[in-house]
Amino acid sequence: MNGSHRLAAGLAALPLLHACGSLPTEPTDGPPERDVDVSSVPEPEPRDEPRSRHGNPDSYEVFGETYRVMESSEGYREQGHASWYGTKFHGERTSSGESYDMYALTAAHKSLPLPTYVEVTNLDNDRSLVVKVNDRGPFHEDRIIDLSYAAARRLGVYDTGTAPVEVRALAPEGQTDRRDEQPDRDASSRDEPGQGPEEEAESREEPGREEAVYLQVGAFRDADNAASLQQRLEAADDIGPVGVRKEAGVHRVRIGPLDDRGEARRLGQRIADLGLPRPAVVATP
């Protein structure tokens, strides 16, 4: 079980920044006094929500470490260890301004935008669960997400305290399908320096034309893990150019550019056949 703590004076400049970690001088965290059945708590449905007014600074510092909040959760997928937090913060305000409810399916993350909906899979038992990220933490080197008590119970993390997990960002219902059907020209044009209104109009006038896209196969804080996945992909046949892009401290393994989203879907199936998670289609290198 992960003890959690709130940073007070040291983070006065960052209102509502909730930090999950452990300090021996503070009271320990824990479960409720009586066993609570959380098996029927409904999983949150990903919704298209604006960024929270709180908890989304460009960057912030905790224990001398600077963390940068991602501009977007699109394509985010990362493996690492999960921990959980409970009674110590039950009813207190989270980084996003919501009250922390340890019986709801929520989580804390260091750099995902607030709110973000993610699917968490316990790699020890293959249990998966959708949770809403509405808090910051855990500020512990080897942990990537802090689960609420209810989420930890449902995923089997509660029994062991920590567990290896995969965290995958989810798009609101139907949004992924729309991106697959229509090229994200707005995102692509931002990545093309010097492209003006005339060029944009010209591209719209060509029927059937699609912008180049990329497949994101994984995202890791550890550069060695990203390099290992890159080498595995490069060793496979007919995968295409594989690169690693570092953004906000996360190393994103991406394949491309690909000609269109149809090719991306076909290559995505090829990668899934290798035993890897199905990659996400993104519009940036």
pLDDT at position 120 is 95
pLDDT of 33 reads 80
**Secondary-structure breakdown of the chain: helix, strand, coil percentages, each rounded to the nearest 5:** 25, 25, 50
Determine phi and psi for 155, rounding to 5 degrees: -90, -5
Tell me, rounded to whole angstroms, the distance of Cα 236 from its chain centroid. 27
Write the CB contacts of 38 (distance below 8 Å, at least 6 apart in sequence): 103, 149, 150, 153, 154
DSSP helix/strand/coil, 92: coil
Quote the distance between the C-alpha of residue 259 and its chain's center.
27
d(CA 117, CA 44): 8
pLDDT of residue 248: 63
The confidence score (pLDDT) of residue 240 equals 80
pLDDT of residue 29: 81
CA distance 285 to 267: 16
Cβ atoms 93, 6 nearer than 8 A: no
| pLDDT score for 27 | 57
Q: Which domains does the chain have, with CATH numbers?
A: 9-169 (2.40.40.10), 175-282 (3.30.70.1070)
Whole-number Å distance between alpha carbons of 21 and 77? 22
Question: What pLDDT is stored for residue 223 in this prediction?
Answer: 83
pLDDT of res. 266: 84
Nearest one of 60, 53, 129 to 98, comparing CA atoms: 53
Question: Which strand (E) or helix (H) includes residue 252?
Answer: strand 250-258
**Contact in structure between 65 and 139 (CB atoms under 8 Å):** yes
- Beta pairing, strands 250-258 & 128-135: unpaired
Angle (CA) 276-281-285 rounded to 5° is 105
Query: What pLDDT does 174 receive?
Result: 45
Q: How far is CA 64 from CA 11, 61, 248, in A?
A: 11, 6, 16
- How confident is the chain (285 residues) per 10-residue block, as mean pLDDT? 36 43 54 86 90 93 90 91 92 93 95 96 92 94 92 94 94 49 32 32 38 78 83 85 81 85 82 76 71
Structure tokens at 231: 């080498």
144: how many CB neighbours lie within 10 A of its CB?
24
Tell me the C-alpha distance between 184 and 180, whole Å.
9
